[in-house]
Amino acid sequence: MKHGYTIGFDAHEANSNNTDLGNYSRFIIESLATATPRNSYVRLYVGHRAPNAEYDRLAEQPNIESMEPDGLMWRKMPQLWRRIRLAADAKRGDVALFHGLTGVLPYGLSRRNIRSVVTIHDLAFLHLHSYYNPLERAWLRATTLAVLLRADRIVAVSNFVKRDIVRLFAIDPDKIDVIYRGCSPAFATIPDEEQCQHIMSRYSLPKEYILTVGTQSERKNTRLIIEAMSKLGGDKHLVIVGRGTGNSTQLQHRINSLGLENRVHMLHGVASDDLPAIYRMAKLFVYASLYEGFAQSIVEALTMGTPVIATRGSSHEEAGGTESIYVSAKSHEELTEAMMRVLGDEELHQRMSVAGREYASRFRSEVIAYNLLNCYRRIGIDLTW
């Protein structure tokens, strides 16, 4: 039965994406629905519903409903529906507030008296020029500015992103709430020894290993870690978990040229429920990305008690806290030295593990939900009564 306000979410990524944006979308939806079971009714708007067990589990909750376009024409043009027709459907569904979880808002919300919030994850196109052609950058700048101006409230996933929004788009900082990403429910409990050994056997993992997680794109800077591995002792192994890209072939060539074929292990298609154990059993987590709006993988590693070394700049310090170690994104020598220091000092390793788990507690789902409810309240939608 419907109670209180109806909240609409752009669920495109929640349904179609099983990496960062999809995980974030499902996390936010579930956190809100769980925190306000009697005060909110959640409608998930998706242009074309794809098979996705995690999304299906969400849609089965009593105060959540998944919605698709009405009419054959809109079903054949889901992306167009997402932008120009969805607001009318949301009004018909009695939506009081619409949250664009991945930087997109449908046109026409304000005309229909629907409050709006948009989450901005990063502004990579303004930082990493070599990854975008000039036309792409111009289009992304124009569409991002339009969304920022139309939204009643903006959620930035880190202070780093908030500063970028203010500096690069001249948006009033008082319009922006910083609400970090949280870990998926799979990270709610620490896997026990039996679970960890089972997962290690399933993926043929070495007894001890350094871990990095993320798509194997050039932006993730995995090559820096591979270069650093060549300077470590022959008994050190690296496990790379993430979707392969066009850059994977170049990475494999470099692994082969350095003679690391037996010490670097690439895992594709790892089930999300298996990730906590893979993090847990790693001796060290290394994240070398050149730019992230918020480095979710760092939080996941800290939650499992795994010490973190990450590159400086971007948002990594916000995700990793003061007890993690930060190095230059361009110096594999500096990274090698940091890895040797952590792996060779058991007291330092233990201190980083304990401090990291304590720091990661600020990213719990209930904390994220509390901050989200405060954001909604600022534009007149109070779900806390």
Question: Is residue 270 scored above 60 in pLDDT?
Answer: yes
Burial class (CB in 10 A: 0-12, 13-18, 19+), 372: buried
Contact indicator for 121, 154 with CB cutoff of 8 Å = no
Write the pLDDT tens digit of every residue in 54-78. Answer: 999 999 999 999 999 998 999 999 9
Give percent of the chain with pLDDT exceeding 70.
99
Which residues on neighbouring strands pair with residue 110, listed in sequence order? none
Mean pLDDT of 320-349: 96
Whole-number Å distance between alpha carbons of 245 and 101 = 25
Write the pLDDT tens digit of every residue in 76-118. Answer: 999 999 999 999 999 999 999 999 999 999 999 999 999 999 9
**Between 296-303 and 346-360, two packed helices, what is the crossing angle to 10 degrees?**
110
- The residue among 338 and 215 whose pLDDT is bigger is 338
Mean pLDDT of 170-179: 98
Q: CA torsion 110→113→114→116, rounded to 10°?
A: 40
Question: Is residue 245 scored above 60 in pLDDT?
Answer: yes
Whole-number Å distance between alpha carbons of 58 and 13 = 13
Mean pLDDT of 133-147: 96
| Predicted local confidence at residue 1, as pLDDT | 36
Write the pLDDT tens digit of every residue in 289-319. Answer: 999 999 999 999 999 999 999 999 889 999 9
Mean pLDDT of 165-193: 93
> Helix (H, G, I), strand (E, B), or coil: what is residue 284?
strand
The one-character DSSP state at 311 is E
| Predicted local confidence at residue 3, as pLDDT | 53
Question: Is residue 385 scored above 70 in pLDDT?
Answer: no
Instruction: Show contacts of 248-255: CB within 8 Å, 24+ apart.
Output: 248/216, 250/223, 251/216, 251/222, 251/223, 251/226, 254/223, 254/226, 254/227, 255/226
